[in-house]
Amino acid sequence: MKAIVIHGPKDLRIEDREPEPLGPGQLRLRLATGGVCGSDLHYYNHGGFGAVRLKEPMILGHEVSAYVEDPGTSAFAKGQLVAVSPSRPCGTCKFCLEGLPNQCLNMRFYGSAMPFPHIQGAFREILTADASQCVDATGLTPGEAAMAEPLAVTLHATCRAGDMLGKRVLVTGCGPIGTLAILAARRAGAAEIVATDLSDFTLSLASRVGADRVINTGTDPDALAAYGADKGHFDVLYECTGVAAALASGIAALRPRGVILQLGLGGDMTLPMMAITAKELDLRGSFRFHPEFAVGVGLMQKGLIDVKPLITHTVPLAQAEDAFRLASDRSRAMKAQIDFPA
C-alpha cells in the first residue's frame, strides 16, 4: 500500500508500506479522504514543533475517513463510510480511569512524534483500526467525515467553556480550528461572535460560517481596542493562534470573570498576569478530545453544523505534497484534503 511519510523538513515521500495485520476487535479500512492539519504542517515545514522533533520517518495524518473493507467481528458492514478517530487512549491508566481519556498516559494518537518510537499516522491506503475508533458517517461525504477530528477539538473546547448561551465570544485566529470554533460556539448558543485574523481570505470564510464581525488585525491593529472599554466586552475567548500578541489583545477585550480557552499551540508565551488576576479571568487549556468525536459526526449528519465551506481544496494521493503547500498558504486555502484512490 502507499503511505505519506515525512522524513524531515520539506522531505515528504509517498512510500510502499505493508498493511498492519487485523487483530481482535479491529477493522480493515480503505482510506477515503485525509485532511492536512496544523501539526502535519509543523512536521512538513519544520520537522516538528517546540520540543517535539522527528527522530525517525513517520506516516503523517490523523483527520481521516474510510470505507470498511473487512469489518472483522464488528457490527460495521463492508463498504460502509466511517469517520476514524485518531484518539486511542489505553483505558487503564489513572487519567483514563478518572474519565480524562484525552490526558491518557499511554495515548496512541495517529501521526505523533511526541513518543519514540513515533506513533505512525493514518495517511495510508489501508488502515487497521479499532472498532471503537470508527463512527458511522452515513449521509456525509468522505470530506465531511474527515472533518470530524478538528470539529471535535473545538467541541471539546466549547465544553471546557461551560454555559455558552447568550455569551459574547471572541475568536483570535481563523484557520480551520478558529472557524470551526465559530460553528461550535454558535451551535452552543453564543449571541455574538467576533473573529480576528491577518488574512482576508480566512476572515471571509469566518463570516460565511457565522461570525457577526471580522477584523483584520494586520490592516486595522487597533480595532479591538474599543472592546476594552469599561473593563471589557467579551465573555469567552477562543485563542487559536498560539501567538502572545493575539492572547494579550484578547485578554484586554474580555470582561471580568471571562473565560480564556487556549487552543493554539505556538509554544510557551508571556502572559499578562496582572490583567488575568485583576479581571479574575479563567485561563483554561483545551487539548484534543474524546467523546466529542462522535458528537461532531452526529451534528454534521443532522445538518446542525456545516463544514463544507471550509473544505477549499482536494488533491489526489499522487499529488499529496500539493495539499501541504496549499494548506501552508492562508491567503487561498482553509482545509486542504487528500483523496485516496477507491
Over residues 182-192, the pLDDT tens digits come to: 999 999 999 99
Q: What is the DSSP letter of 21?
A: P
CA-closest candidate to residue 137, choices 208, 77, 200, 65: 65
| pLDDT band per the 50, 70, 90 thresholds, residue 265 | confident
Q: What are the φ and ψ backbone dihedral angles of 271, each rounded to 5 degrees?
A: -105, 140
Banded pLDDT at 322 (limits 50, 70, 90): very high
Q: How would residue 266 be classed by pLDDT, with cut points 50, 70 and 90? A: confident
Predicted confidence (pLDDT) at residue 223 exceeds the cutoff of 80: yes
Tally the C-alpha atoms within 13 A of residue 8's C-alpha that lie toward its C-beta: 0
State the average pLDDT over residues 146-152.
98
**Any idea which residue has 484518539 for its cell?**
87
As a whole number of angstroms, the distance between CA 335 and CA 309 comes to 9
Nearest-angstrom CA–CA distance, 156 and 179: 15
Q: H/E element holding 235?
A: strand 234-239
Residue type, 269: M
**Quick one: average pLDDT of 34-60?**
94
For all residues of the chain together, what is the average pLDDT? Answer: 96
Measure CA of the first residue to CA of the last residue in the chain; give whole Å: 12
Which pLDDT tens digit goes with each residue over 281-313?
999 999 999 999 999 999 999 999 999 999 999
User: How far is it, in rounded angstroms, from Cα 313 to Cα 322?
Assistant: 10
> What pLDDT does residue 269 have?
86
Nearest to 144 by CA among 299, 333, 324: 299
pLDDT at 219 over 80: yes
Q: Which residues of 76-116 form beta strands (DSSP E)?
A: 81-84
Domains located in the chain, CATH noted: 2-147+307-339 (3.90.180.10), 152-285 (3.40.50.720)
Measuring CA to CA, how many Å separate 116 from each of 43, 60, 105, 119, 228?
A: 15, 15, 14, 8, 45
